[in-house]
Amino acid sequence: MRILIALTYYRPHVSGLTIYAERLARGLAQRGHRVTVLTSRFDRTLPLNEERDGVRVRRVPIARKVSKGVIMPTFPAHAWPSVGEHDVVNIHMPQLEAPLLTEIARRRGIPSVLTYQCDLHMPPGWFNRMVERCLRPLNAIAATRCDAIVTTSDDYASHSGFLTRYATKLRTIPPLFDDRSEDPVRTRELVQRWGLEGGPLIGFAARFAAEKGVEVLLEALPQIVQAFPDARVVFTGAYRDTIGEEAYLRRLRLHLERYRDRLVFLDLLPDETMPSFYSVCDVLAVTSLNSTEAYGLVQPEAMQAGTPVVATDLPGVREPVRASRMGLLTPPGDSAALATAVVEILSNRDHYTRSEDEIRAHFSAEKSIRLYEELFETVGG
């Protein structure tokens, strides 16, 4: 099958959405499908065309970046022939071009499937509020024209004002998590390079973006340190130059400066090192604040490495902890509750740990790829 995957940002940009799309594209290619990714050339040093892990990547030049998005005047000229060369189009939202892609697919007789990654909550400001209002009718057009909509969980879908309007088109496919096991050699190298020996380590693996709630974890630190004086927070992710988050990073500086002796900032780790990162952490914190986070791929990956999770009690985000019972849930934005949960897990870690086999029974990347294949074959008739 010839599959076109369209999204605004693709690798080397790092976010949950791009990681999800890359794993899907790579997994489908490994199963013998011809996969093309249509995306933006958000960095001018990137090639317009290349092949990555058996996936063809076509990048459309941008005129400028606007907040978290990009403007691509020539996108229609690239999209029309690209859609026509494939048997199905998979569009990852939020994406400004989604209604255009579904219309092109309709006119060319090609089925289209939306993957609704999350609701869009942009940083504060009148311009971002205007962008959100403009995207709502565009999203509705795309949802009306498409053949099916993928959601990450029934929990998230049932709490989304947008998705509930298209219930007959919904298909639930869990996210594709990386099921690689820890490499002891990489783990030793990670510990030695960054001095990760000693007191309990609280992991945080995400971009520094307003919806991720980094400040909630930082505000919880004094209470955690009272119980565990040697506790530190270990960050990995895009915490520098995060697109559209300049104002948020400025607001975080005071917190980061106040607790700098308790913080360890790792490089942006490659995928093959992430199992080692999770394994050296004693607990992983997922502090998302709103429905921009729909699941949190880092949760099952940390659990597989033997690390419990404290996650926000939000639709979708709470699903990995609910399914595995390998962690605790706390209200969004509640730093005191977060601190209490972290201390509880650090004090009784064995109670919140499950075997790797138990975690694999709940989460399977191979199953998710197979469900996508079946859906594409169904809509393709």
Q: Any residues with CB less than 8 A from the CB of 248 and at least 6 apart, and which?
A: 123, 208, 209, 210, 242
332 CB contacts (<8 Å, ≥6 apart)?
213, 288, 289, 290, 312, 313, 314
pLDDT of residue 126: 59
Same domain, 214 and 155: no
The predicted structure's pLDDT at residue 51: 95
Identify whether residues 80 and 106 lie together within a single domain. Answer: yes
Beta bridge partners of 235: 204, 265
Residue 47 sits in which domain range? Answer: 2-177+364-380
Q: Do 346 and 203 fall into the same domain?
A: yes
Q: Which long-range contacts (CB under 8 A, 24 or more apart) does 27-30 make?
A: 27/176, 27/365, 27/366, 27/369, 28/3, 28/369, 28/372, 28/373, 29/53, 29/54, 29/55, 30/54
Indicate whether 292 and 330 sit together in one domain.
yes
pLDDT digits (tens, 9 = 90+) for 114-152: 999 877 665 666 566 666 676 778 889 999 999 999 999
User: Do 355 and 370 belong to one domain?
Assistant: no
Q: How far apart are CA 160 and CA 162, in angstroms?
A: 5
Nearest to 138 by CA among 77, 69, 54: 69
Residue 204 and residue 235 in contact, taking contact as beta carbons nearer than 8 Å: yes
| pLDDT for 245 | 57
- The CATH code of the domain that includes 102 is 3.40.50.2000
145 and 237 belong to one structural domain: no
**Do both 142 and 268 map to the same domain?**
no
Q: Which helix (H) or strand (E) holds 252?
A: helix 246-258
- The strand ranges marked E within 29-107 are 34-41, 49-52, 55-61, 64-66, 69-71, 88-93
Burial class (CB in 10 A: 0-12, 13-18, 19+), 159: middle
Q: In sequence order, which residues have a C-beta less than 8 Å from that of residue 139 and are 6 or more positions away?
A: 93, 94, 98, 99, 162
What is the predicted pLDDT for the residue at 90?
98
Bridge partners of 329, per DSSP, are 311
Q: Where are the alpha helices (DSSP H) in 108-237?
A: 126-145, 154-158, 184-194, 214-227
Residues 353, 227 within the same domain: yes
pLDDT beneath 70: ranges in the chain? 120-132, 134, 238-247, 381
Tell me the per-residue pLDDT of 278-308, one tens digit each, with 9 for 90 and over.
Answer: 999 999 999 998 887 888 889 999 999 999 9
Q: Looking at the structure, do residues 228 and 154 belong to the same domain, yes or no?
A: no
Same domain membership, residue 74 and residue 172: yes
Residues 197 and 227 in one domain: yes
Q: What is the pTM of this model?
A: 0.87
CB 10 within 8 A of CB 38: no
Q: Are residues 273 and 247 in the same domain?
A: yes
Domains: count for the chain: 2
